[in-house]
Structure 1
Amino acid sequence: MDIRHGSFQGGTPLSQNYETVEDAVNEAANQAVHACCQGTFSVGGVMLDNTGYVLNALHNNVVEAGMTFDPTAHGERQLIDWYYDQLSQGALLPPPEAITIVTSLDPCCMCSGAILGSGFNVVSAAFDTFSGINYTTQADFPSLTPALRAMAQTTFSYPEVNGDSCFARPATSAPVADFFSQTVIDQNTQALCLSVFEATLGTVQDTVNHDLPLDELLDPATLALDDPIVVALKAVYPQALSYKAPSPGTPDVGLASLLLDAAARDVEQGGKGSSVAFLDAFGNLMLCLPGNQAHSPAHTPFMLTTRTWAQLRHQLFQQEGERTLQYLGHPKFGTFVLTLGHDTSAASLMDLGAYGSTMEEALPADNPYSLQYVVPSIPQSELTAWCQTLPPLYSQSIGVYPQQVTDQALIDAVTEGLPQAISRSEASYA
């Protein structure tokens, strides 16, 4: 099917072309206003093909009904997943390099990783000096490796903003796509994009972190097997509650087989053999999932794990109310355990950004290592140095610094078992 004959915005046809950057940014700003009224981060975006035809327009959906629905539901990430969803259904779409995402705000680390990993072009209306990938506003992209930086400088555009106010700026980075007949943003449009985001930022961050404190959480392992919370949890991940760490935040060798099983499925689904376990504040295993990068580059194990946890809590809250929050706590009190550690790739940039979006504020003082890995991909010193180059939200405010697990038996078991698990999976898949 050719969706050029029926684009979608929440199911509403958008059949039109944007011939100027101003028109496209206006649509992104309109989406940001809708996000503001929903009570979520006020950012919006529109996806255009290489003629300026509107493929889709979406806004941030992190918060729905006053509660976190999906910490990864930024406009850009949703547009990218929408694109790959359409491809899987047989839609005829241009390749990513022939598509431009116009966004009201400079993409965060998560969305930048998704964009760079897929190959889309992007036009940003407003700078974001706290969490944007171009937080220096100089298009030097200090968080990126030289190869990714060169890619960003040819695919990320920051058009000229006219006027004589503080919102005016010259164009930087890559030129905008040549299908635009006019390439300047009006200062009032750019001001709207920035101000509507800043007006609700603090309120939405508070909403994301409005949860029960640690001392009011209850252990879900004490619930009966037929309790609705346990039933819903096991429907998502049948082996939930089958493992408990010796103490919170300290996974041991008992987690190895579960991580390896999920890593094998990750290979079958287009990954390189990683997986992510989420342990709650009591050390209970709640989820252990592979990715599905054969479907979308944005479906890494971490992305799917944090999304699944948030959506499970959101769904159960509608049914069980506050009781859900007693047993399924905010992820900042738990521990994410990755089979493979981060490197400096676009996928790792996306995952670290998604972790930051999951936390949204400084980590609890008694749980500073809620992001751990088993097998390193690069030395810890190199990983820490790279994290220090991330935008201030991640490197300073939250403290996004992954650490290796401390249990040597777990490290040894996964290190030794991972090649075999991958080989078995590849043989089975072949």
Structure 2
Amino acid sequence: MAFKKTIDVQAAVAIAAAEAIAAKTQGTFGVGGLMLDQHGNVLQSLHNNVVKQGLVFDPTAHGERQLIDWYYAERAKGRDLPPPQDITIVTSLDPCCMCAGAILAGGFNVVVAAPDRQAGINHDTAAVFHALPEALRARAASTFSYPAILGSSLYARAASGATPKSFFIGKTIAEPTQALCALVFEATSDEVMRLFRTDPPQEQLRDPATLAPGHAITRALKQVYPDALAYRCAPHAPDAGLAPFLRQAMTRDREHGGAGDAVALLDSFGNLLLCMPGRLTQSGIRSAFMETTRAYAQLRYKLMAGATPERQDEVRRHLGHPKDGTFVFARGPDAGAASLMDLGAYGSTMEGPLPANNPAQLQYVAPAIAQAELAAICAALPPLYSDIIRIAPTQVADRALIDAIAQP
């Protein structure tokens, strides 16, 4: 790694900006970040990897999320790393809900350069964090730093949020570096968003259950989840037939350090494509939803990377965008940081408005909190989630499925 240590906020943000430029070169969202220990040693630097080779690779591959997974992976290998409260993540762009939830769930500190008025957790730049559930606001105020940018341009700002950790000698950001962080993201956003709109409309999708068992798409799908296509319901209407698959994944979630959650992905025809547990023993932020949405995106990516346009079109038609199907959570979101992360990751998967004919794209079986409280949490999220995507988790309608999951 070229950079070994930094004890200056400006120097750290410059590293994040360099990563953001590398992301732009790759053709993905121009965002970068790094992780520092309590002495300013650079532990790792990464950039956004949502897009690779002109294809969506992983909608959850934001810089901050990847840094946190890297941290947990290194600790699992036996590396002696400081506890999260002694770690600082420096990012070129205000964390989205997914990354903010991951940061808060792990207990890390963060220093933020540019604002993000659509998806940033501090989208209104007030540093009071009304976009967070109330129980998380004080924690964010004590760990999220927005250093001062001295000057008179539109990029200037007063310091807000938490004071950066004491090892930082310089605690301000230069206007040109701030501008670079903002402009690199702006220069990439529209092009990357276009890639999220390359999937065919629902009426042009084809039923993967009609493919031959030996078809490459079927084989790849079953390699990821052997029970794929073993269950089918009416479109967007999961019923009690899904319960055995959810319960099996819930058991595996407990074995992997979770509380017994699972997430299923049904396509627009009602076919079960995936049903996965979390892997919290491997990383504190590898929830069931993160595993499911990432696995599906990477399955599509592997089938399309390097393929002909005709083959790519075939994959997109048989494995459609999740927005046309249904995510089914065994356990509904609550007011905690991990659920904020999941809701944010869901937003990163959708990236745009839900289809008018599929407003209940996100469903859950067992509620964790009252529906009204959950709706209020979603309504308070930054504009991308509340106004554009309009995230609105709803409980499944099938009483038999609810009863089956409620059984001990």
Q: Per the shorter chain, which TM-score range?
A: over 0.9
Given that 1:109 and 1:133 are in contact with CA atoms closer than 8 Å, whether structure 2 keeps it comes out as yes
Alpha-carbon shift at residue 147 of structure 1 (Å): 3.2
Matched, 1:400 2:391: yes
Partners of 1:93 and 1:241 lie apart in 2 by 43
Given that 1:278 and 1:337 are in contact with CA atoms closer than 8 Å, whether structure 2 keeps it comes out as yes
Aligned to 2:6: 18
Aligned to 2:323: 332
Partners of 1:145 and 1:407 lie apart in 2 by 29
Matched, 1:287 2:274: yes
2:137 to 124, 127, 149: 149
Any idea what SS the aligned residue of 1:303 has? helix
Partners of 1:202 and 1:352 lie apart in 2 by 22
Alpha-carbon shift at residue 74 of structure 1 (Å): 0.1
**What residue identity is the alignment partner of 1:290?**
P
Any idea what SS the aligned residue of 1:90 has? coil
Matched, 1:389 2:377: no
Given that 1:114 and 1:346 are in contact with CA atoms closer than 8 Å, whether structure 2 keeps it comes out as yes
Partners of 2:315 and 2:135 lie apart in 1 by 45
Aligned to 1:314: 301
Aligned length: 404
Q: Is the deviation greater in 204-213 or in 111-120?
A: 204-213
Segments of 4+ moved more than 4 angstroms:
none
Matched, 1:266 2:253: yes
**What residue identity is the alignment partner of 1:62?**
V
Any idea what SS the aligned residue of 2:249 has? helix
Aligned to 1:139: 127
**What residue identity is the alignment partner of 2:14?**
N
TM-score, reference length from structure 1 = 0.93
Q: Residues 149-195 of structure 1: CA distance to partner in whole angstroms, max 9, x if unpaired?
A: 11111110000001111110110010001111111100111011111
Aligned to 1:226: 214
Alignment of structure 1 residues 169-248 onto 2, 5 Å: 169-245=157-233, 247-248=234-235
Matched, 1:166 2:158: no
Partners of 1:332 and 1:146 lie apart in 2 by 29
Given that 1:249 and 1:283 are in contact with CA atoms closer than 8 Å, whether structure 2 keeps it comes out as yes
Any idea what SS the aligned residue of 2:72 has? helix
Aligned to 1:108: 96
Alpha-carbon shift at residue 38 of structure 1 (Å): 1.2
Q: Percent identity among equivalent residues?
A: 55
Aligned to 1:74: 62
Alpha-carbon shift at residue 269 of structure 1 (Å): 0.6
Q: How much is the aligned-residue C-alpha RMSD, in angstroms? A: 1.0
Alpha-carbon shift at residue 321 of structure 1 (Å): 3.0
Aligned to 2:337: 346
**What residue identity is the alignment partner of 2:236?**
G
Any idea what SS the aligned residue of 1:321 has? helix
**What residue identity is the alignment partner of 2:178?**
Q
Partners of 1:65 and 1:391 lie apart in 2 by 30
Aligned to 1:8: none
**What residue identity is the alignment partner of 1:108?**
C
Q: Is the deviation greater in 126-135 or in 346-355?
A: 126-135
**What residue identity is the alignment partner of 1:242?**
A
Given that 1:49 and 1:100 are in contact with CA atoms closer than 8 Å, whether structure 2 keeps it comes out as yes
Q: Which runs of 5+ in 1 are unaligned?
A: 1-12, 421-430
TM-score, reference length from structure 2 = 0.97
Partners of 1:146 and 1:394 lie apart in 2 by 17
Partners of 2:8 and 2:406 lie apart in 1 by 53
Partners of 2:73 and 2:17 lie apart in 1 by 25
Any idea what SS the aligned residue of 1:37 has? helix
Aligned to 2:19: 31
Aligned to 1:255: 242
Alpha-carbon shift at residue 144 of structure 1 (Å): 2.1
**What residue identity is the alignment partner of 1:232?**
A
Q: Which runs of 5+ in 2 are unaligned?
A: none
Partners of 1:253 and 1:212 lie apart in 2 by 30
Alpha-carbon shift at residue 15 of structure 1 (Å): 5.2
Q: Residues 52-88 of structure 1: CA distance to partner in whole angstroms, max 9, x if unpaired?
A: 1111100000011111100000000000001111111
Given that 1:41 and 1:200 are in contact with CA atoms closer than 8 Å, whether structure 2 keeps it comes out as yes
Aligned to 1:43: 31
